[in-house]
Amino acid sequence: MARTKVALVGIGKIALDQHVPAIAASPDWELAATVSRKGTVAGVSAYTDFASFLAERPDVPVVSLCLPPVPRFDYAEAALKAGRHAMLEKPPGATLAEVHTLQALARDRGLTLYATWHSRMAHAVAPAKAWLADRAIRKVHITWREDVRKWHPGQDWVFEPGGMGVFDPGINALSILTEILPDPVHLTRARLEFPANRQTPIAAQLTFSGNVTADFDWRQEGPQTWDIDVDTDAGRLALRMGGNVLEIDGQPMAGENTIMGEYPALYARMAQLVRAGESEVDLSPMVHVADALTLGERVTTVAFDF
């Protein structure tokens, strides 16, 4: 069966590290074009202007947008108005309202819009959700600490308005939380640490209903920590390695110690949605971030530079 052509828009670190290998390995997709001011992929037609791509390549029905959140809306809107299905890197936009606008546009034009959450595709998330489904949750704690210099080297946009700061990785944890818990929770308190020279937080401590807490920090050097611990009436569940390894009462039960299965699963899901003529846009992780930025206590910490 012929593979569907897809264009990647925004050829930066995440596109090269994850999207390009996932598409190359997929039985569903052919990388037919890229759009980027600077980045390219060897052997693939490259455009620097999105309007030119849309005008010249009607044969490419799907665009995958890997741009930072702030400029992404204009590209997604243009793609949908040009009759293309759109796949959005997380977070799906800079604001909730703009994603609602894209939802309505896709619906009205009969197009697929997929707001992706790659951490939900981690190997152990589905078995964790199944295990928790009929258990009483007593306590949840998230520890999500990583090194911004490693994952976003020199990318100042993450500290500009709309860049989300530490919530760029933290929203991955929230995407897992909202997927695995049997019942929804809501934010009740937040403490946000802003570097003196930056516009978005570098660390956050969150408290939710249901005895759920989270600790996000972008200053951790050495080994990185992506853990979710859940105490229940039937034992303790832990997700390690960003949701890729499941432990029950300290014993490994499911998953694989790698993050490389997440993006292939996203592209497989996008293929399903396009074939079915459906969209998938769950904004619950982004709602928690918006609530934290609304409700959070702001604390100024030392300046940060790459």
User: Which two tokens mark 266?
Assistant: 């996203």
pLDDT at 42: 96
One domain, residues 147 and 202: yes
One domain, residues 233 and 156: yes
Residue 106: partners with Cβ closer than 8 Å, 6 or more residues away:
80, 86, 112, 113, 279
Q: Residue 72 domain-assigned?
A: yes
One domain, residues 182 and 89: no
Q: Residue 21 domain-assigned?
A: yes
pLDDT at 291: 98
CA 247 – CA 70 distance, rounded (Å) = 37
Is the pLDDT at 8 greater than 90? The verdict is yes
pLDDT at 258: 84
One domain, residues 160 and 100: no
Q: Order of strands across the sheet with 251-255?
A: 251-255, 245-248, 235-240, 225-232, 137-145, 212-217, 203-208, 187-195, 297-301
One domain, residues 164 and 254: yes
pLDDT at 176: 98
CA 162 – CA 160 distance, rounded (Å) = 6
Q: What is the mean pLDDT of residues 155-180?
A: 97
Query: Which amino acid, residue 239?
Result: L
One domain, residues 166 and 128: yes
CA 70 – CA 209 distance, rounded (Å) = 30
One domain, residues 181 and 103: no
Among 115, 134, 151, identify where a domain stops: 115
Average pLDDT value for the chain? 97
Q: Residue 280 domain-assigned?
A: no
Q: What is the mean pLDDT of residues 290-303?
A: 98
Among 63, 94, 115, identify where a domain stops: 115
One domain, residues 90 and 137: no
CA 19 – CA 66 distance, rounded (Å) = 9
One domain, residues 132 and 221: yes
One domain, residues 98 and 231: no
One domain, residues 45 and 155: no
Q: What is the mean pLDDT of residues 9-36?
A: 97
Among 115, 150, 177, identify where a domain stops: 115
Q: What is the mean pLDDT of residues 169-192?
A: 98
Beta strands 235-240 and 212-217: pairing type?
unpaired
Q: Residue 232 domain-assigned?
A: yes
Is the pLDDT at 210 greater than 70? The verdict is yes
Q: What is the mean pLDDT of residues 138-162?
A: 96
One domain, residues 128 and 219: yes
Q: Residue 306 domain-assigned?
A: no
pLDDT at 248: 97
Q: Residue 277 domain-assigned?
A: no
Q: What confidence tier does 1 reach under pLDDT thresholds 50, 70, 90?
A: low
Tell me the pTM.
0.96
Percentage of the chain with pLDDT > 90?
98
Domain containing residue 179: CATH number? 3.30.360.10
Q: What confidence tier does 213 reach under pLDDT thresholds 50, 70, 90?
A: very high
Is the pLDDT at 118 greater than 80? The verdict is yes
Domain containing residue 87: CATH number? 3.40.50.720
CA 102 – CA 100 distance, rounded (Å) = 5
Instruction: Indicate the number of domains in the chain.
Output: 2
Residues with catalytic function: 90
Q: What confidence tier does 257 reach under pLDDT thresholds 50, 70, 90?
A: confident
Q: Residue 89 domain-assigned?
A: yes
Can you give the residue range of the structural domain that contains 189?
A: 119-258+290-301
Segment 51-68, tens digit of pLDDT: 999 999 999 999 999 999
- Nearest of 79, 59, 84, 54 to residue 67 by alpha carbon: 79
Q: Residue 263 domain-assigned?
A: no
